[in-house]
Structure 1
Amino acid sequence: MFQTTRQRIGRMGRAVLLATALGGLAAAPAGAQDAFPSRPVKILIPTAPGGNMDTLARIVAEKMTASWGQQVIVESRAGANTVLATTAVAKSPPDGYTALFTLSGFVQNLVLMPSPPYKVADFAPVSMVAVFPIALAANANLPANTLQEVVKLAHEKPDTISFGSYGVGSGGHIIGEGLNKAAGIRLNHVPYKGEAAAFPDLVSGQIGLAYGSTGFYSSQVGTGKVKLIAVASPKRLKAFPNVPTFAEGGYPDVNLAGWGGMLLPAATPPAIVDKYTAELRRIVALPEVQARILQLGFEPAGTTREEFAQAIAGDIQRWGAIVRANNIKLE
């Protein structure tokens, strides 16, 4: 009935060992997260190698490699309108070793596709790294130099002016149709396979207007063959201080800039997500990185994860409103 001292000590010892073991198990995930990363990290991008998106991702990966002491590899998984890379990351183990560095097509797919193969809830937003302003360019000889003059010309010559975009359902296409609706005009849409493909027709005058990234047009404006009418951006760009935003031109609802940002699988431990966010914000704040982002025609962002999540939610509403109003669908 009564326990001997040795029995009590034995039971106490076993209890201590059990508690220690359980404590070790409970602490293991935190310890593993603190040690992250302990092996190479892979960043998937949804665009082809060699483009501005690839360049930006490699700028970030280079700095992460130096800081984390593990190789951070950028891998292109282009195709299916950014869906291939996006779904691959959504299905990856949520351990932080596979990240998605994507652009605002991530949101546009959600409002363009009747049954998107992924949803926002599949991801943990990390940080918006840069804003990708979208420019409206015009043939140098088009008799309009401002957004108001473009609208006036379109009213005077209905159905005679076309605008090119870098694809059906692209940001340029959506903004162009949104401007049509908001201004009560009819600029005819001509989709191209990329902004570079539209450029020869813009220069020749086959189309009067074209949408594209400011990074692309920053190297074209100096030729004197094209001019910038407006930019979709939260504010005027340092590279083009005299070019107003769509909001300044009287059309705030179509002032929708693109972006580049990082996301992780939804179930990634918060400590790892926070580590990514802190690292990206540190990198974007570096003067040399800001200079390179501006050279690409982008604007540095470096948001918190909460700010990025709010931006994604807002974009779904704003892009979605234009898509629904104009019945835009992916072909």
Structure 2
Amino acid sequence: MNDSNAMGALRKLCIGLAAAAALGAAGKAASQEVAFPSRPIKLMVATTAGGNSDLTARMIAEKLAVAWGQPVLVEQRVGANGMIAAQALAKAPPDGYTAYLSLSSMVQNVLLQPNPGYKIEDFVPVTMVISIPIALAVGGTVPASTVGDLMKMAKDKPGSVSYGSYGTGSGAHIIGSALARAAGVNLVHVPYKGETSSFTDLASGQLTSAFGSTGFYAAQLSTGKVKLLAITGSQRMARFPNVPTMAEAGYPGANLPGWSGLFLPAGTPEPVVSRFSQEVRKILAMPEVRAKLDDMGFVPVGNSSQEFGQYIKSEVSAWSAIIKENNIKLD
């Protein structure tokens, strides 16, 4: 073989080896993508056990575990209105093995807290799981049948009407502040770690009223210990045709529904985000899941990562305007 032929053969060999290496790398990357998840996943929630947000997380975790063949473990990170859970997610490795089912407080903390310990940019939105009509409930012995009745009580005896929320700076806190400002009254804010925590005080009469998910309070109506005065949302709920929205009750500035969405740490590979989003959206489309969420008083959503991202931007703008308009500050 002359030098020219030898050089040509060498070039062909090098090209072949490079192609094989490229194919091998691509095959390895593809196998890694297909392999996710290959170990247990942690799904964090910021609410106490037994509440509807916790039950929603457990239902999704159970369905994900079946679909993916890996345990999905729900972990309570309660406290600081969700900031503890959000901070944990911001510090988690961006590999898809730590997720957070957040409430809308994720946005409100950034707007109200001087140092929430995270930025919205620290997360990648996966899908909005549910829209949450928020109910204003009063204890069963409270002599108020409408929001107007309750505001009159607060006006007649300043400082006598309290309302519970699921955390300082939460949507419930902001709704209560907006309601008090619109009515020109003083409502005493009492923050709790979750709606289940406030119910005991509401039922015993230590707390006049409380905001929480409609489904949670609906489950307590048969006890006679609570009454629903209004809900937040664009329209009345079919199961409560006689309960007005806050706007219908005369307080459109306090008509603010909440939401819950799934997030992963920023930098999580797009194929992992996409797989998470697609699987959770499949779960939310299941008739039995939709029925359970409806029973809880939630509205299933299940949008794309991009759609949820746009929604988050609109939420930052909307809540920021409401907070400034009503001069809402932390207690």
TM-superposition CA deviations, 1:32-89 (whole Å, max 9, x none):
2233223322212223333322221111111111112222222223333322222222
Equivalence for 2:254: 254
How many angstroms apart in 2 are the aligned matches of 1:79 and 1:147?
Answer: 29
CA gap 1:309/1:241 in 2 versus in 1, 3 angstroms: farther
Offset at residue 152 of structure 1 (A) = 5.7
Which runs of structure 2 are paired with 1:6-21 in the superposition (5 Å)?
6-21=6-21
Whether 1:105 and 2:99 are equivalent positions in the alignment is no
1:307 corresponds to which residue? 307
Give the AA of the match of 2:211. Answer: Y
Q: Secondary structure at the match of 1:260?
A: strand
What's the CA shift string for 1:264-314, capped at 9, x where partnerless? 111112222111111111101111111222233322222222332233223
Structure 1 unmatched runs, 5+: none
Is 1:326 aligned to residue 327 of structure 2? yes
Please report the RMSD computed on the Cα atoms of aligned residues, expressed in angstroms.
2.7
Alignment-mate amino acid for residue 284 of structure 1:
L
User: What residue in structure 1 maps to residue 80 of structure 2?
Assistant: 80
Partner of 1:71: 71
- Secondary structure of the corresponding residue to residue 81 of structure 1: helix
Equivalents in 2 of 1:42, 1:201: separation in Å? 32
**Percent identity for Structure 1 against Structure 2:** 47
Counterparts of 1:177 and 1:190 in 2: how far apart (Å)?
12
- How many residues are treated as equivalent by the alignment? 328
Distance 1:27 1:118, change over 3 A: farther
Q: List gaps (5 residues or longer) in structure 2.
A: none
Q: 1:270 and 1:191, CA in 2 relative to 1: closer, same or farther beyond 3 A? A: closer
**What is the letter of the counterpart of residue 165 of structure 1?**
G
Q: Which amino acid aligns with 1:46?
A: A
State the TM-score, normalized to the length of structure 2.
0.87
Query: How do 1:1-331 residues align onto structure 2 when only pairs under 5 Å count?
Result: 3-26=3-26, 28-140=28-140, 142=142, 144-151=144-151, 157=156, 159=158, 161-166=160-165, 167-192=167-192, 194-199=194-199, 202-203=202-203, 207-324=207-324, 325-329=326-330
TM-score, length-normalised on structure 1?
A: 0.87
Query: Which secondary structure does the structure 2 equivalent of 1:164 belong to?
Result: strand
Q: Secondary structure at the match of 1:82?
A: helix
| The 10-residue stretch of structure 1 (211-220 or 314-323) with the greater mean CA deviation from structure 2 | 314-323
User: Residue 29 of structure 1 aligns to which amino acid in structure 2?
Assistant: A
1:38 partner letter: S
Which whole-Å CA distance do the structure 2 matches of 1:6 and 1:191 have between them?
A: 81
AA of the residue aligned to 1:49:
A
Per-residue deviation, 1:120:
0.9
- 1:186–1:88 Cα change, 3 Å: closer
Question: CA contact under 8 A between 2:154 and 2:160: conserved in structure 1?
Answer: yes
Contact 1:164/1:192 (8 A) holds in 2 = no
Q: State the one-letter code of the partner of 1:302.
A: G
Contact 1:165 1:211 in 2 (8 A): yes
CA shift for structure 1 position 30: 4.3
Change (3 A) 1:58 1:209: closer
User: Does the 8 A contact of 1:100 with 1:263 survive in 2?
Assistant: yes
Please report how far the alpha carbon of residue 148 of structure 1 lies from its aligned counterpart in structure 2 after TM superposition: 4.5
Q: How much has 1:177 moved relative to structure 2?
A: 0.9
Distance in 2 of aligned mates of 1:164 and 1:117: 27
Letter in 1 for 2:294: L
Shift of the alpha carbon at 1:140? 4.5
CA contact (8 A) 1:161 1:207 kept: no
